[in-house]
């Protein structure tokens, strides 16, 4: 099967207005191994530059592993719900239900951070103030990456930042599941792994994200000046104009 997926252009453009978890990771004052690092305005400019680009329908397409991961999300949520129900039932309790969310950005116009949930414990039609828990789904296709993630200490996984970011935005989210899903694994026991996090587990990460947000706001206020020897000039010509001309030329000269 050829894996391909098309997301919403409006969703992509809305994401440009906020810092998302993957961007926040690039602005953290620590390295992947936990060493302190200095974050500069050039680091922030690199993130901002992606938000300055005009997006088109072509940017909405993903293929291969990226598309596969998105298309498997609803199946992962369904199987994770089944596993949670079984675990809670064996303890005599009642499990909460998680609902898949697709191409929805959760944001606050007074904040600079936002997230796109894979699943929340409320339906997509619910008030966004209602969820108290979320699921982050990772359907890694490469078996080495998939299994290495499963066997890494949950508090050392990079994926924890994608859980801490929603917690930094919404105070009422007090717990979350990281769902690792790979139905291509030979042994059924290796196809689904769940890890549970609460706010206390990620309190340090949440504090760092709030610090990144504050420094980002300050950066946007003061701007990043061009070198004195460089001047930018406005130009009406766009890439879309160029592509239209090239396509017309190719039709005339096949």
Please give the pLDDT value at position 91: 77
Q: In terms of DSSP H, where are the helices of the chain?
A: 9-15, 21-25, 41-52, 64-71, 73-90, 143-150, 161-169, 203-222, 239-252
Long-range contacts from 85-93, C-beta under 8 angstroms, 24+ separation: none
Structure tokens that stand for 192 in this block: 């689904």
Q: How far apart are CA 98 and CA 152, in angstroms?
A: 25
pLDDT tens digits for 110-164? 999 999 999 999 998 766 778 999 999 999 999 999 999 999 999 999 999 999 9
Can you tell me the distance from the alpha carbon of 167 to that of 87, in angstroms, rounded to the nearest whole number? 25
- Tell whether pTM > 0.85: yes
pLDDT for the residue numbered 198: 96
Task: Tell whether the model's pLDDT for residue 31 goes beyond 90.
Answer: no
Average pLDDT over residues 161-175: 96
Q: Average pLDDT, whole number, for the chain?
A: 94
């Amino acid at each position: 099967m050829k894996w391909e997926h098309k997301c919403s252009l409006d969703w992509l453009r809305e994401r440009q207005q906020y810092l998302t978890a993957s961007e926040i990771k690039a602005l953290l004052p620590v390295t992947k191994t936990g060493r302190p690092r200095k974050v500069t305005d050039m680091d922030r400019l690199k993130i901002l530059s992606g938000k300055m680009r005009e997006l088109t329908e072509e940017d909405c397409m993903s293929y291969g592993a990226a598309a596969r991961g998105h298309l498997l999300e609803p199946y992962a949520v369904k199987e994770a719900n089944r596993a949670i129900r079984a675990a809670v039932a064996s303890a005599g309790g009642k499990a909460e239900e998680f609902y898949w969310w697709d191409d929805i950005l959760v944001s606050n116009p007074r904040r600079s951070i936002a997230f796109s949930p894979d699943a929340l414990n409320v339906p997509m039609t619910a008030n966004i103030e209602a969820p108290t828990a979320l699921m982050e789904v990772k359907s890694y296709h490469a078996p080495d990456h998939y299994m290495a993630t499963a066997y890494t200490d949950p508090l050392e996984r990079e994926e924890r930042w994608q859980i801490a970011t929603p917690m930094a935005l919404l105070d009422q989210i007090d717990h979350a599941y990281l769902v690792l899903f790979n139905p291509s694994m030979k042994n059924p026991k290796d196809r689904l792994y769940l890890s549970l996090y609460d706010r206390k587990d990620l309190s340090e990460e949440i504090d760092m994200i709030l610090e990144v947000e504050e420094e980002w706001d300050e950066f946007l206020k003061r701007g990043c000046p061009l070198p004195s020897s460089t001047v930018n000039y406005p130009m009406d010509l766009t890439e879309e104009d160029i592509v239209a001309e090239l396509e017309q030329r190719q039709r005339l000269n096949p």
